[in-house]
Structure 1
Amino acid sequence: MAVGDLTAQIRMEGNVIDGNSQEPIPGVAIKVRGTTTGTVTDLNGGFTLDVQEEARNLEFSLIGYETKLVSITNFPSNGRVILQPSSLDLAEVTVLGFENNRSLLESTGAIAIAGPRDFDRADKTDLAQMLNHIPGVQVRGANVLRPATISIRGQGARGPGQTGRIKIYLNDLMLTNADGTNAWEDIDPYTIGSVEVIKGPGSSIYGASVGGVLNIRTETAPYGEHSVEAFSLLGSFNSMRVGTTYRVSNEKVNILATVGTQSTDGFREHSQEQRDFVTFLGTFSNAENNTTTLFLNRNRYDSRAPGALTPQQVEENPRQALPLAVLQNAGRIATFTRMGMSNDWQISDRWRNVTSLTMSFSDLDHPINFLYIYQWAQDVGGRTRFIHDTNVFGKKASFTVGGEYLTGVVRTNFYGIEAGRPTGVAIGDREARIQNGILFGQAELEATEKLLVTAGMSVNFYEFANLELTLPGAENQVRRFDPFVAPRVAFNYRP
């Protein structure tokens, strides 16, 4: 924003923000159009520039982003300039996984990025197809027998079971449950703007996630937009997706809200699927140095299981369903509710804090041929980190310290089944309570113009308890694991 006159000059101050991630962008070249006067944004995306009164436009440019002209006379009052990413040079795209918004070539780890151009190659009704374009990543979509699973370089869940080797975050909110499973099938693929994949144990600030980390960023409304959009999609086997999206964006608010339904009859009999979803994402700039993001998501997934056929039945009619599966109305009905809040506070020129709180609930009704399974889960957690930019012996350095805590309860009941409904008293039940936490720290030092040194460490805590088990022969179990320390040192040299 313009803050005053200095001998026929105007002082311009502001911040440059990524249009997708809403993160500050360092290293943006800013110049007065038609002159040699200019500057570059600092590590926090901020800038100050004195311009002549007769100057008309400022030009903002950075490789990996679309160049933008901003009128000086109509400069935003809050000083925020939004740049939209482009796909011209992937190597120079800024990544967020290591906290300091460096280019892909400067990151001390193996990172892959997927964005709108990649997602347009796939059927966006299925998140698995969108992510399977990323090298080293294998995703299996949810079906009637299991939730969605993911593996990175062979680590993670490649079969029906799941492991705690991969962590997933959405806009700094934790999608990984306390027990290590990843509940992300409720995220509407159409709301995803970009995905960063850290392959392997590439960063201390996420704990001992040896498989890797997914950082999902949702779409945001383009700056200045205020619109209501109705959408529809039709396909084979009565496939359909319909709904409405509301977008609004200005200097103070960015809101993206979607409500809709998605369904298909499937190729085989008794293989129908339906998803009903509501998503709200709002980012509010309530001060020049404070941004709050609210996220609310509810998704109901209802799918029918046609059952397995013998070779003879397939030859007779490949589209038929197993009679017993139809009789028991076999399928999977899952309802997810997720709420989260994240706050980004620029405390000073050198200090920044990012804190997020997450709460999620899920209900699962799972009738199968010989059993009815009901499962209820709740997870509550928070994450905070402080980032400090400074100089050490005249060299640029950055320090990150923080912690993460997550607690969850999973209750599972097993019933007999008759005509697709549970019968009588539960024949078995199980309750699991899980707590885990992380304390982490990371330091980055630009030792030379070409050499970047990163060192970090995380301390991981985990406690697991199986309670109130009534399954035959089962016993209560409580396990407290010793703290696990995961150090990391990495070097990046650009000759």
Structure 2
Amino acid sequence: MDARTRQPLDGVTITAGATGQQIISDANGHFSLPAEGAAATLNFQLIGYTTRSVSVRLPYSETLLVSLQPSATNLSEVVVTGYEANRPLLETAGAISIVDSEVMQRFDESSLVRAVNTVPGVRMEERAPASYRISIRGSSLRSPYGVRNVKMYLDDVPLTEASGVTMLNMLDAGNIDRMEILKGPVGSMYGAGTGGAILLEPKRAAPGEHRLEVGATTGSYGFRRYAVTAATGGEKANALVQYTRQQYDGYREHTAMNRDVFLLSTQFHPTEKQTISAFLIYSDLFYQLPGALTQEQYNENPRQARGGMFGSVAQNATMNMDGVNVGLSHEYKLSSKWRNITSVYGLIRAQDHPFNTDYERNANQEYGARSRLAYTTRLGAAEAIFTVGGEYQRGFQVARTYDNNGGAVGAMRSDDELISETGLLFAQAEFKLPGNWLATAALSYNDTRYDITRLQQAAAGTDFQFVRDFNAVLSPRVALLKRLTNTISAHASVSAGYSPPTEEEILTSDGVLNQELEAEKGLNYEAGVRGLLLGGRLSFDVVGFSFRLNETIVSRQEVSSIAVFRNVGSTRQNGVETALAFTVVEEPAAALSLLKIWGSYTYNHFRFKEYQQGETVLSGNRLTGVAPHMATTGLDLATSPGFYLNLTANYVADIPLNDENTVFSDSFLILGARTGFRKPLGKNLTLDAFAGTENLTNQKYSLGNDLNAFGGRFFQPAADRNYYGGLSLRYTL
């Protein structure tokens, strides 16, 4: 079976080591071999998976469960879990990109930013160390900070909270093994959202793996990262324990960061029909907020922090969070046709934030569940999979705001209790039709409600309760795919999206209730083609889309630097996303074992369709915060002696920083490189020593600009040329 999806593998070649006898696994993954003697060694081979050997003592009369790890990035072999299909990417109708461990290891694992930015149509930014923002097809329009309007899951458990926000910075990049990025509205399966969904898989121990790994990285501006990982895996169970600590003094003034993360990731297979997955993450995060600069300050000294009476240093603007997130998922195959996956989770988190103009203290607790039932059958000549399910989340938050007196708590401004509830019911029918056609129809029912009880407000002095119950919305999706050849497929889809405001958009950080804000609704049309050419050496993925968004939410800073939100009409967002990869050399035994060239390009023609601000008509203006052109390219080289080299170039065109399109960030081209030596030292020990550089050309640029900023404070300068180096040692039993 596939070690990741636990699905049976058809066509695996099983060879008996002593006799050379071979057999092929059937459609259910079953095989049987006669054997004699005291022991036997079996070798398992399948294209797209790592070859594995298993030794068994004879006589052996039980069922042998053998899990194979996916190894190739070949589109014909890569299985995706998006849209609940567990199908190869070539048979998935939708714009999906995969960021696997190989992509993440091209960089220093200090964050996911550079790995995510290799994906067309996606932009991840870091306004300050650990202050992330993710945009899928322009969805950062309403995200002055944090991850919003992008639904995220970790191991089938919602990572996005009931309030609509995602605390991605509570994870370490080293916790993640794989990401599936679904672009465009995905409300038919993953709930409210018009910006897309990201499915994360935590690191796990592979079957038969027993290892201890330690690593350390150091770099410019006081960067230090330490990681310890212990993993053990068998056919019935596996467990991985990881501790990471990351510290950074900062390129800019007031940008220090400390983060400790503990991850426990386990999986159990008590029977052939059951899989139980669980994780526990504890995180303790602190980072300073330098604040944005004006154009003049940016030109004069990009390393300075925001100054003045409400400056970042004067007010000790920082983020302090610690919390625990626990998830449990159970998959049960009731029969060859019925399958159920049920997940539950809970989290607690405490926050203590002195900001430039106020001081916030919050405490969160949340629980939720997601369950789906799948039925596989045949309807005449068609194979069919029917899926129904639901998801529920409930969060409770105590939120208090105070005056910030130089980094100390002042007089209370407001004391609120917030209950966030969101629910989702969904159904999907997928048909594999004659002639290599696949058709999908899906529908979901989404509902969101916020209950806010104000216990104290300095101005009013009285209690009151505010309830915002958004109208439940149906979100349909229809998709069609055609396998043109064994290695090329074309797909098209139409999907509707629905995205209610987050709790932070309803209740802003100054304690003001935004009672009139409406949910966004959008309709997306897209078509694409993906596949392999030149004997599988050239892979390509091209998607064109047209998205219409109504009741568009935008953010704007007021004089106090508090972000406020409002609906402004509609937008039209047209674009093209392309990804190419060409494997020049792939000969594991040769001196030059790998040479691969790859790249991605995104074209965005995003415009406000209907937008008027007072007497000023902004219709036709470029969408704020979105670059019309983005491109990333790279080269990967490896040798059989153990030397490797990764080169990356990232280009971003000019970006409008306000809705009026009067201020733009400059375009930039960033180059990065990593080289190292990875080699076994004896039978059990493996060394990986590496060094790298980012911003090799010493480009001056801003990463994570503040949009529609008051006082012209738009720019969050990124680090100039910087270096890092480190090593890891892996001991395998």
Taking structure 1 as the reference length, what is the TM-score of the superposition? 0.86
**Structure 2 partner of 1:48:** 30
**Structure 1 partner of 2:122:** 137
Q: Once the two structures are superposed, what CA deviation does each residue of 1:309-365 show, in whole Å capped at 9, x if it has no partner?
A: 678877886645547533432211122321111111122221111111111222221
Q: Which among 400, 405, 411 is matched to residue 418 of structure 1? A: 405
CA distance in 2, matches of 1:152, 1:320: 30
Q: Is the 8 A contact 1:30 1:40 kept in 2?
A: no
**Structure 2 partner of 1:278:** 262
- Residue 475 of structure 1 deviates from its aligned partner by 6.2
CA distance in 1, matches of 2:304, 2:415: 34
Q: Which among 438, 441, 446 is matched to residue 452 of structure 1? A: 438
Q: Is the 8 A contact 2:11 2:24 kept in 1?
A: no
**Structure 1 partner of 2:247:** 263
Which structure is higher in RCO with an 8 Å CA cutoff and minimum separation 6?
2
**Structure 1 partner of 2:176:** 192
CA distance in 1, matches of 2:15, 2:62: 19
**Structure 1 partner of 2:373:** 386
1:211 aligns with 2:200: no
Q: How does 1:346-425 map to 2 (within 5 A)?
A: 346-424=333-411
**Structure 2 partner of 1:491:** 480
CA distance in 1, matches of 2:444, 2:199: 18
- Residue 370 of structure 1 deviates from its aligned partner by 3.5
- Residue 211 of structure 1 deviates from its aligned partner by 2.0
CA distance in 2, matches of 1:264, 1:220: 27
- Residue 450 of structure 1 deviates from its aligned partner by 0.5
CA distance in 2, matches of 1:117, 1:76: 38
Q: How does 1:164-203 map to 2 (within 5 A)?
A: 165-202=149-186
CA distance in 1, matches of 2:289, 2:63: 54
Q: Secondary structure at the match of 2:189?
A: helix
Change (3 A) 1:311 1:35: closer
CA distance in 2, matches of 1:61, 1:396: 28
* The 10-residue stretch of structure 1 (90-99 or 314-323) with the greater mean CA deviation from structure 2: 314-323
CA distance in 2, matches of 1:481, 1:490: 28
Q: Is the 8 A contact 1:373 1:412 kept in 2?
A: yes
Q: Once the two structures are superposed, what CA deviation does each residue of 1:366-389 show, in whole Å capped at 9, x if it has no partner?
A: 113332122222221000111111
CA distance in 1, matches of 2:235, 2:289: 49
Change (3 A) 1:156 1:54: farther
What is the letter of the counterpart of residue 281 of structure 1? S
Q: How does 1:69-108 map to 2 (within 5 A)?
A: 69-70=53-54, 79-108=64-93
**Structure 1 partner of 2:108:** 123
Q: Secondary structure at the match of 1:81?
A: coil
Q: Is the 8 A contact 1:123 1:130 kept in 2?
A: no
Q: Which among 290, 295, 302 is matched to residue 279 of structure 2? A: 295
What is the letter of the counterpart of residue 170 of structure 2? D
CA distance in 1, matches of 2:33, 2:105: 42
Q: Over aligned residues, Cα RMSD in angstroms?
A: 2.9
- Residue 100 of structure 1 deviates from its aligned partner by 2.8
Counting aligned pairs with the same residue, the percent is 33
Q: How does 1:56-71 map to 2 (within 5 A)?
A: 60-70=44-54
Change (3 A) 1:119 1:308: closer
- Aligned pairs, number: 472
CA distance in 2, matches of 1:302, 1:211: 28
Change (3 A) 1:305 1:38: closer
What is the letter of the counterpart of residue 477 of structure 1? F
What is the letter of the counterpart of residue 132 of structure 1? N
CA distance in 1, matches of 2:465, 2:13: 64
Change (3 A) 1:17 1:51: same
Change (3 A) 1:422 1:76: farther
Q: Which among 114, 130, 133 is matched to residue 99 of structure 2? A: 114
- Residue 37 of structure 1 deviates from its aligned partner by 4.0
CA distance in 2, matches of 1:106, 1:352: 21
Q: How does 1:320-339 map to 2 (within 5 A)?
A: 320-321=304-305, 322=307, 324-339=311-326
* The 10-residue stretch of structure 1 (127-136 or 304-313) with the greater mean CA deviation from structure 2: 304-313
Q: Secondary structure at the match of 1:349?
A: coil
CA distance in 2, matches of 1:369, 1:49: 65
Change (3 A) 1:73 1:394: farther
- Residue 418 of structure 1 deviates from its aligned partner by 2.6
Change (3 A) 1:452 1:189: same
- Residue 66 of structure 1 deviates from its aligned partner by 2.6
- Residue 299 of structure 1 deviates from its aligned partner by 1.1
Q: Is the 8 A contact 2:13 2:22 kept in 1?
A: no
CA distance in 2, matches of 1:327, 1:236: 26
CA distance in 2, matches of 1:214, 1:316: 39
Q: Is the 8 A contact 1:164 1:179 kept in 2?
A: no
Q: Secondary structure at the match of 2:165?
A: coil
Q: Secondary structure at the match of 2:170?
A: coil
Q: Is the 8 A contact 1:208 1:458 kept in 2?
A: no
CA distance in 2, matches of 1:410, 1:185: 19
Which 5+ residue runs of structure 2 have no aligned equivalent? 485-733
**Structure 1 partner of 2:135:** 151
Q: Is the 8 A contact 1:255 1:282 kept in 2?
A: yes
CA distance in 1, matches of 2:216, 2:55: 38
CA distance in 2, matches of 1:95, 1:217: 12
Q: Secondary structure at the match of 1:141?
A: strand
Q: Is the 8 A contact 1:61 1:67 kept in 2?
A: yes
CA distance in 1, matches of 2:163, 2:409: 27
* The 10-residue stretch of structure 1 (450-459 or 426-435) with the greater mean CA deviation from structure 2: 426-435
What is the letter of the counterpart of residue 467 of structure 1? T
Q: Is the 8 A contact 1:149 1:157 kept in 2?
A: no
